[in-house]
Amino acid sequence: MSRTAKFTLIAAIFISTGTVWGVHHLQKKEKEFMHAGILRDEERRTKKNKFQKNKLELEQQLILQREYEKIQPVKRNDNR
């Protein structure tokens, strides 16, 4: 093999190896980023469910308060 052919072969090997490594690295980073997105979505969904649960509990408490005030009126003092 001539010197030019050896140099071309070695250059092609390095370029191919670099390309494969670069693509692998990009895929790994993209996978990590996508997984972080899933974690953010789960956290957002948990907060939303907690908010809805608290809102429902508040509505139930207000209904109970109205029912109890019908039975036993409460005198409110508006001097704060």
pLDDT one-digit tens code per residue, 10-64: 999 999 999 999 999 999 999 999 999 999 999 999 999 999 999 999 999 999 9
Q: Establish how many alpha carbons lie within 13 A of residue 9's alpha carbon, considering only the half-sphere containing its beta carbon.
A: 6
Distance CA 80, CA 71 (A): 26
pTM: 0.52
**CA angle (8, 13, 14) in 5-degree steps:** 100
**CA angle (65, 69, 70) in 5-degree steps:** 120
Which strand (E) or helix (H) includes residue 7?
Answer: helix 3-71
pLDDT at 75 exceeding the cut of 90: no
